[in-house]
Amino acid sequence: MKSYSPLKPGDEIRVVAPSQSERVNSKRQYDRAKQRIESLGYKISFGKSVSKVFYFRTASAVDRANDINDAYRDKNVKAILAMQGGWLVNETLPLIDWALVKNNPKPMIGFSDITVLVNAIYAKTGNISYLGPTYHIIGAMAEWQYTLSGLASMLVQESNIDLVKSKFWRIWNDKKLHKTKKWQVLQSGIAEGVLIGGNLGSFYLLQGTEYQPDFKSKFILAIEDDDEAGIYTAREFSRRFESLLQLPNVRNNLQGIIIGRFQPDGKVSENDIANIVASKQLENIPIISGVDFGHTLPMLTLPIGGKVKISASDAAIITIAN
């Protein structure tokens, strides 16, 4: 597990688009993101290909990988932020200079499809990256202070951070706010380990590749899923989860699970989650659900490859041990 130097005022954050290029109708949101990051004291720069489109609203795999390699090569760049999620980041993996990434530890930040990249970075180099907001999300309006504050704490490597739930949440551009419920303890216990995971459908793409973590040491699993399966989201989540649990070393070293928040259109109820967890026979490990990450706003920033502690009893406590 390799960390990076804590960011300082004046440091540069490079925005790249490994998964999907910038959207022409999101200028106001990008402008807000730039202002908010600069309010933390950081500078923003952009990869050469963030506006290019080859197919499926993204640049070619070569262009995207070149932007990633350039960001790791540039000594002025101290962190790398994905423009947004999408579908095709796994095309870049064979084109990344992994020795360069390993020798220049700096965090890659993003969620959804970027799950593939942050976990591959940990698997190939041992470096810490972050499951957290993309540039696009930082410019969103819903409870944005919560999202920005969580990211800021990680970038400066504040130690022993006890995560706190948001007060309200909502989905993307929907103006309806929902009061955030207490994180639910599905199974009690205390656990500690390296955090891996993220969007389950994206994490699934790493199976059988050299870019998947090997699960040979004690780990905590963070999982969530989007609502692209519609009313079948709970079933897709369950079978992808089962597939993961059947991989070598997973059950032997899995210490605890953190489950994110689901979008309403997925029709995944608290009862569904409880039943899915019960069906997996994961006795003796703490499991917490409804945590502030996934495809809703706002969201936490979680260290992939970093140490996390869980204490689940009457209350759910998640601690980041930088």
**What is the residue-averaged pLDDT of the chain?**
96
What would the mean pLDDT of 224-245 be, rounded to a whole number? Answer: 96
The CA-to-CA distance between both ends of the chain, in Å, stands at 11
Which one-letter DSSP state was computed for residue 300? -
Is the backbone of residue 129 left (phi > 0), alpha (psi -120 to 50) or beta?
beta
36-48 tens-digit pLDDT: 999 999 999 999 9
- Write down the pLDDT at residue 172: 79
Mean pLDDT in residue range 177-200: 97
Confidence of residue 176 (pLDDT cuts 50, 70, 90): confident
Which one of 166, 224, 238, 311 is the catalytic residue?
224
Closest CA to 79 of 143, 163, 26, 152: 152
The answer to whether residue 162 scores a pLDDT higher than 80 is yes
**pLDDT at residue 223 tops 90:** yes
pLDDT score for 183: 97
pLDDT bracket for residue 101 (50, 70, 90): very high
Q: Is 228 a catalytic residue?
A: no
Of the candidates 49, 112, 289, 311, the residue annotated as catalytic is: 112
Rounded to 5 degrees, what are φ and ψ at 227?
Answer: -105, 25
**Tell me, what's the pLDDT at 174?**
78
Q: What domains does the chain contain, in order, with CATH numbers?
A: 12-159 (3.40.50.10740), 162-320 (3.50.30.60)
Query: Per residue in 5-28, is it b (16+ CB within 10 Å) or e — as a string?
Result: eebeeebbbbbbbbbbbbeeebee
- Check: CB of residue 240 under 8 Å from CB of residue 273: no
Question: Cα–Cα distance between 179 and 177 in angstroms, integer?
Answer: 7
Per-residue model confidence (pLDDT) at position 232: 96
Indicate if 224 belongs to the active site: yes
Using CB atoms within 10 A of its CB, is residue 109 exposed (0-12), middle (13-18) or buried (19+)? buried
pTM for the full predicted model: 0.97
Residue 2 pLDDT grade (very low, low, confident, very high; cuts 50, 70, 90): low
Is 166 noted as a catalytic residue in this protein? no
Q: Please work out, in degrees rounded to the nearest 5, the angle formed at the alpha carbon of residue 312 by the alpha carbons of 311 and 316.
A: 90
pLDDT score of 1: 58
197 or 23, which is more confident? 197
Instruction: Find all residues with CB under 8 Å of 72, minimum gap 6, and list them.
Output: 80, 97, 100, 101, 104, 106
